[in-house]
Amino acid sequence: VTKNSAGAKYHFRITAMNAMGVGEPAQTVDLVEIIEREEIPDLELDAELRRTLVVKAGGSIRLFVPIKGRPAPTVTWTKEETTLKTRAIIDITESYTLLVIPECNRRDAGRYDLTLENAAGKKTAYVNVKVLDSPGPPLNLKPKAIDKESITLQWEMPLIDGGAKITNYIIEKREATRKAYATVVTKCDTCSARIPNLSEGSEYYFRVSAENEFGIGEAVETSDPIRASQAPTPPEMVTITDVTKNSVSLAWTKPKHDGGSRITGYVLEAQKKGTDQWTHVTTVKSLDFTVKNLNENEEYVFRVMAVNLSGRSHPRQSKHVVIREQSTEPEFDLRGVCQKTVIAKFSWDSPENDGGVPINNYVVEIRETTSQSWVELSSMIIRTTYKATRLTTGVEYQFRVKAKNRYGAGPPITSEAVVAAYPFKAPGPPGTPKVVAFTKDTMTIGWNEPVNDGGSEVIGYHIERKERSSIVWHRISKALVVGNLFKTSGLESGSAYEFRVMAENIAGIGKPSKASEPMLALDPVDPPGQPVPIHVSKNVITIQWTKPEYDGGFKITGYIVEKRDVPSGRWIRANFTNIIETTFTVSGLTKEASYEFRVFARNSAGAMSNPSDPSDPIICKDDIEEPRIMVDAKFKDVVLVRAGEVFKLDADVAGLPLPSMVWTKDGKDVENTSKLQIKMTDLSTTLVNKDSIRKDGGEFVLTATNVGGFAKHVFNVKVLDRPGPPGGPLKVSDITAEKCVLTWAPPADDGGANIEYYVVEKRESSRLAWTNVVTNLQVTQYQVTKLLKGNEYIFRVMAVNKYGVGDPLESDPTVSDNPYVPPDPPQTPEITAITKDSMVICWGAPVHDGGSEITNYGIERRDRISLRWVKCNKKKVTDLHFKVTGLVPGHEYEFRVVAENAAGVSAPSPSSPFTKAIDTLFKPGPPGNPRILDTTSSSITLAWNKPVYDGGSEITGYIVETCLPGTEEEEWTIVSPKEGLKGTSFTITNLKENQEYKINVSAVNSEGVGETASVPGSPKAEERLLPPEIDLDADLRKTVNIRACNTLRLFVPIRGRPAPEVKWSRENEEPLDRATIESTSSFTLLVIQNVNRFDSGKYNLTVGNSSGSKTVSITIRVLDTPGAPQNLKISKVTKEDDVGQYSIKLSNTAGEKLVDIRVVVLDKPGPPTGPVKVEEVTADSVTISWKPPEYDGGCTISNYLVEKRDTST
């Protein structure tokens, strides 16, 4: 319900309406307020997005997420907590958001966060995207070790591996003077590699690319060139300049050789006395350093190492030094006093013992020999020389000097007496000074000594300078300069300065020299690299060099090349015009002559560098070297270019003599045009193609040729563009008033990329505007719907790849109209299978289907008491019958049917007669599958299945009838009981042997006897002969174990016709007296109660009849205590010791048994036990007694024998 007022409250009611009118309304219970409902934002991630989304590089990342919320939530897409770049296309509606990144690459992998937010709340989710691509660039590429012939590189694995394991690294190099890279290592599975065979002193760039299963990734390049050099020599000298109680000041000089690479710093280390460990102190660029925070009174030694790009030099050690303040007063010797001068200059040596503290200054005093008092001339002298002036000619003087440190002055030393006189003249002017070194704020000048020293040795010089535009000279040497070099500082950058020098001897200062040439105060330009030959012939040499490492702060504007004959020629200029490039061809040379070359660099400020190192000697002769073509690694694969862009093919060429170069394509020479340009130099060539289109791609072949042979390289260029039109024609088929089917073929030209989808558009032939039909179509067929009947349409299809939408393919004009009409009405329906709540409706198909297949039948019913037709089927019906359910019992209904095809619905069929919904009963159908189970000489057993149709009433029984075959009139006899059979099987008895019979079976329900079903054939009453079979249970096939005293039951099913005879027996024909045997025609049972060990053994069962016999064996093991041993015999009887009770213990798994055996040895008894005692004596008798013998011989003593004898016999 729209157009309501916000904030207002309303009641709503709903009323139903039919053909009879409008019914009563239903009203909402409460007032409904018109307000905006707030709903917390929610989203639904597809199952694919819940897992990691895997996309191949070059494809599109499409993240479609349905959303909801009221008010419509604000949608924010971020990647790794940063807003997505502009190349991500984001579409947002109230129901969904779509993020599309076309042509994705490895950098698009990662986690994408989606945030929904409105006034009701906030919801977040994320999608992980994995892009399968070649890997990103390796990290932190730098040299690990450098020597004069090789460089070892190391790097770290790429941050992005492209979704696959890194399997290899490719290393390339190029000289700093070349543009093309050459591959030096193609197989490297570690993060370091040594690059050998480099030229000492040459500079190289290197780059490394990682490789995985998807290809070679982006390369990382060294930011600065790396010079192939070695470590420098150690610093020349390390001296200690000052010592305090906690610090030492050190100074050192540069190494003699820098190893071919600029010194980048110095490493200072310290070692305490008594330890072997060196401790790093600092790394500095200057030539001095003060080490602080040392331990007082401890002894140290220091060492310094020079560092260049190749590494550290060997160390140079200082002397051992003890950290403490020294307080000894200084001592020194005075020497070198000049006599007979008006100006007395004298010098002395430093004291041998400086007291442990550096000398701060010297104090010089003078006195006339006629006086005892000393006059101080100067107390702030630092050097060990002094010049005393304004002496009186002819007067005799003495001088004394004292050394002074922070603790005071030491004892003086006194000179001999000196008479002041003027025997010499001032020296002449020195040679014209020259600037030998300069920077933007310092200059170092040098000069030659004066030709005339005035008769006295020159003791020093004074230096003056002025700006070129000035006329005033300023003295810049604060003290007397000893030597022929002087460095001045504090200059203004860019200004020109002149210098002059004055010499001084004992007689005084001479005349100044001529002024030097004006020199600009600028940083010096480093010399260029050593020249190397790149082409040599009999009278022409082309050399090449590298730019200076430092240009003095101004752009290099040119070079000067000099040459000389080897070995004794002088340097002469070789170029007469300015050289801008770092190559130069020197012509007019002598065949077979040897030359050296050197190069000067000049910057825009006018500063000229020192000359480069001379080249190695080069002999002018014709060398033949086969041409070589060197290209960047990217040109070894297919070069991919977007349409409209420029592609550029570069190559470096080498060979002697210089090869000629030709570009060809498709076997034809490539010519220079405004669109395609070719540039060539002696050693390189470039092909540039502008505004590339598809046909510009192909194979470009570069051929380099000289007398030594030829070289060839093929550049494969592929221009990526929008696809061409789909393959035609665009067929329009299956045309109806509302739809049609379009069919086309894929485009012959896919634009260099896979076709992602198709776009279908349409327009009416009377209009010019095209309307979109479908996008993102993946197949080459589509059904267009929602056409207007009778309108004429034109369709077109465009293929889309990742580079855009291609050209369209159009169809011929097509009129949308049906080729068919609605069908005729179906035939009058008939009612079958009536019940109280259902009926089965059958009807005939329409005479004419209208030219289109019947897709559905609609069944309608009407109650006699109603006026409205009600549809009966909710699903489509294609059969010609339908069961209508849900009827009201006792009501009368009529039915009609309508047919439906693609053109519409037919008119309804004629109505069926009214039919009452009541149950209708019928006799049952015939029983199913009557069959014979068994026959005997007097019976037949048969069986059957229940009828498929029970007539609507329960089956109450079955009737079986028989009839003799072959009679003219079949007389059927009911053989089943009168009350009928309840089961589905029956045995007919009292039949004649070998007589054939026909048999019928009928089912009976409440309506009567149903249709009969006949047993196939004419079964005969005869005995069936079956050989006997024994079905032994699986347990009886194994040994049967039973414990003693239990009952053994052997139940074995048997079968056979006639009934087999059964015989049980034991092996060895042992009797079965204790066994009870029961046998029938189907089984036999053997029972033995209270079994014991004697029942163990094998039992044989034999069954047999006239058809054969069969025997099986069953093994029985009775678990019982063992029986008594058998055949016990006494084999040997010895002494009494063998008499006694013997026990025999028998045991097995069922138990154990103990048997006692008493052994009696039968023998004569032993003698009675004495002594024989006389108990009583009479006149004619004597009574004697004794004890029984200890051994009775194994049986009872039966009697004793008493003997006597006369003592005299």
pLDDT along the chain (1209 residues), means of 10: 80 85 83 81 85 85 88 87 78 87 85 90 90 89 84 90 89 84 89 87 88 89 82 83 84 79 87 89 87 88 87 87 64 40 76 81 89 86 85 84 86 84 80 86 89 86 91 88 87 89 87 90 87 85 89 89 87 90 90 91 85 89 82 85 87 84 89 88 88 86 87 89 89 89 91 89 88 90 90 93 88 87 92 87 92 91 92 92 92 94 90 88 89 88 91 88 85 86 91 90 90 91 86 88 91 87 86 88 91 89 89 90 70 60 76 75 81 84 87 81 82
- What CATH number was assigned to the domain covering residues 626-720? 2.60.40.10
Superfamily of domain 1026-1119: Immunoglobulins (2.60.40.10)
Specify the residue for token string 């170092």: 444
Domain 39-132, classified CATH 2.60.40.10, yes or no: yes
Angle at 728 between CA 722 and CA 733, to 5 degrees: 125
Per-residue confidence (pLDDT) for residue 171, from 0 to 100: 93
- What CATH number was assigned to the domain covering residues 139-227? 2.60.40.10
CA distance 60 to 105: 9
CA distance 450 to 428: 6
**Residue 257, CA distances (Å) to 142, 232, 254, 311, 529 in order:** 24, 6, 8, 14, 16
Domain spans of the chain, in order of start? 1-32, 39-132, 139-227, 238-322, 334-419, 434-520, 532-554+564-622, 626-720, 727-815, 830-916, 928-1014, 1026-1119, 1165-1209
Per-residue confidence (pLDDT) for residue 802, from 0 to 100: 82
CA distance 10 to 424: 131
Q: Are 741 and 783 in contact (CB under 8 A)?
A: yes
CA distance 668 to 662: 10
pTM above 0.75, yes or no: no
User: Can you name the CATH fold of 928-1014?
Assistant: Immunoglobulin-like (2.60.40)
Q: Are 657 and 573 in contact (CB under 8 A)?
A: no
Which architecture characterizes domain 830-916 according to CATH? Sandwich (2.60)
Query: Could you tell me what percentage of the chain is helix, strand and coil, using 3-state DSSP and rounding each to the nearest 5?
Result: 0, 50, 50
**Same fold for the domain at 334-419 and the one at 928-1014?**
yes
Q: Token digits for 992? A: 């004649």
Q: Token digits for 504? A: 């001084």
Q: Are 384 and 347 in contact (CB under 8 A)?
A: yes
Q: Token digits for 125? A: 């989710």
**Residue 591, CA distances (Å) to 565, 569, 661 in order:** 12, 16, 27
Domain spanning 434-520, CATH class = mainly beta
Q: Among 3.40.50.970, 3.40.50.300, 3.30.450.20, 2.60.40.10, name the CATH number for the domain at 238-322.
A: 2.60.40.10
User: Can you name the CATH fold of 334-419?
Assistant: Immunoglobulin-like (2.60.40)
- H-helix or E-strand spanning residue 1011: strand 1008-1014
User: Can you name the CATH fold of 727-815?
Assistant: Immunoglobulin-like (2.60.40)
Burial of 535 (0-12, 13-18, 19+ CB in 10 A): buried
CA distance 1104 to 1057: 10
CA distance 796 to 773: 10
Burial of 839 (0-12, 13-18, 19+ CB in 10 A): buried
At residue 1068, the 3 state secondary structure works out as helix
At residue 350, the 3 state secondary structure works out as coil
Per-residue confidence (pLDDT) for residue 337, from 0 to 100: 42
CA atoms 573, 574, 580, 583: torsion sign: negative
User: Can you name the CATH fold of 532-554+564-622?
Assistant: Immunoglobulin-like (2.60.40)
CA distance 84 to 747: 34
Per-residue confidence (pLDDT) for residue 1134, from 0 to 100: 54
- Which residues 6+ apart lie within 8 Å of 383 measured at CB? 479
Closest to 1042 (Cα-Cα) out of 1132, 1115, 958, 940? 1115
At residue 1036, the 3 state secondary structure works out as helix
